[in-house]
């Protein structure tokens, strides 16, 4: 059995990850590629409970360290019960956020040590890394304006503009450090143009599969 491919979607708040997830799923289905769509934090019953804890705007103050460990606890469950089984059955996995979000939010936003994140990444993931990451990038104000339309903010969305500028910068740094894996998509354009860039970024991986 040929192992499936692992694709992740990343970017700041409201840049259009969820919107484009369905588009990518349909594109893969069109090429007869079986795909599991999932998200982080979340993807299993326990990991979804951890997600609720992390996003709850009314929770007690969560320390930066507790936040980081909760993110990786959810990820550990997700990898063991969803991601690895699907990949080893030859399915592709399309995931709304993964560890680049930890580098961006906990590393960039919360200023946690990158070496600590790397250590947890190696511990929890072993050699598992995405085959392709689509990084949707747009100015912070654009994403926040779009996210605002959806209503009440969660615990992260209630952060300051400066926090999100740090998140964006950390994402762009990840792209610079991993140019083979991370493809930058300009999300501040009409949806059809965003989706054209997504297809361009995915073509190579899909062509090799067909």
SS3 content of the chain, % helix, strand, coil (to 5): 55, 15, 30
Largest CA distance in the chain: 50
Compute the distance between CA of residue 45 and CA of residue 78 in angstroms, rounded to an integer: 9
Binding flags for ligand T5A, 83-112, as an x/- string (CB under 6 A): -------------xx---xx--xx------
Helix, strand, or coil here: 9?
Answer: strand
- Residues in Cβ contact with 157 at an 8 Å cutoff, skipping those fewer than 6 apart: 13, 144, 147
Q: Determine phi and psi for 183, rounding to 5 degrees.
A: -105, 130
Residue 137 near ligand T5A by CB under 6 A? no
Residue 18 near ligand T5A by CB under 6 A? yes
C-beta closer to ligand T5A: residue 131 or 157: 157
Q: Which of the stretches 6-14, 27-35, 76-84, 172-180 binds ligand T5A when contact is defined by CB under 6 A?
A: 6-14
Question: Hey, CA dihedral for 153, 157, 159, 160, is it positive or negative?
Answer: negative
Q: How far is the CB of 90 from ligand T5A (least distance, A)?
A: 25
Binding flags for ligand T5A, 150-179, as an x/- string (CB under 6 A): ------xx----------------------
Binding flags for ligand T5A, 40-79, as an x/- string (CB under 6 A): xx-----------------------------x--------
């Amino acid at each position: 059995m040929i192992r499936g491919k692992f694709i992740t979607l990343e970017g700041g708040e409201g840049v259009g990850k969820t919107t484009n997830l369905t588009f990518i799923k349909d594109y893969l289905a069109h090429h007869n590629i079986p795909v599991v769509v999932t998200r982080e934090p979340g993807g299993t019953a326990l990991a979804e409970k951890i997600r609720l804890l992390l996003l709850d705007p009314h929770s007690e103050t969560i320390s930066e360290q507790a936040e980081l460990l909760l993110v990786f606890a959810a990820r550990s469950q997700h990898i063991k019960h969803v991601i690895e089984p699907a990949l080893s059955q030859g399915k592709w996995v399309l995931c709304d956020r993964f560890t680049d979000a930890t580098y961006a939010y906990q590393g960039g936003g919360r200023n946690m040590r990158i070496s600590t994140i790397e250590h947890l990444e190696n511990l929890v993931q072993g050699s598992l890394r995405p085959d392709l990451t689509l990084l949707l990038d747009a100015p912070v104000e654009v994403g926040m304006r779009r996210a605002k339309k959806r209503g009440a903010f969660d615990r992260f969305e209630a952060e300051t503009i400066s926090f999100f500028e740090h998140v964006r910068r950390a994402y762009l740094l990840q792209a610079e450090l991993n140019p083979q894996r991370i493809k930058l998509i300009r999300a501040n354009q009409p949806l059809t143009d965003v989706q054209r860039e997504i297809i361009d970024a995915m073509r190579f991986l899909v062509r090799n599969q067909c």
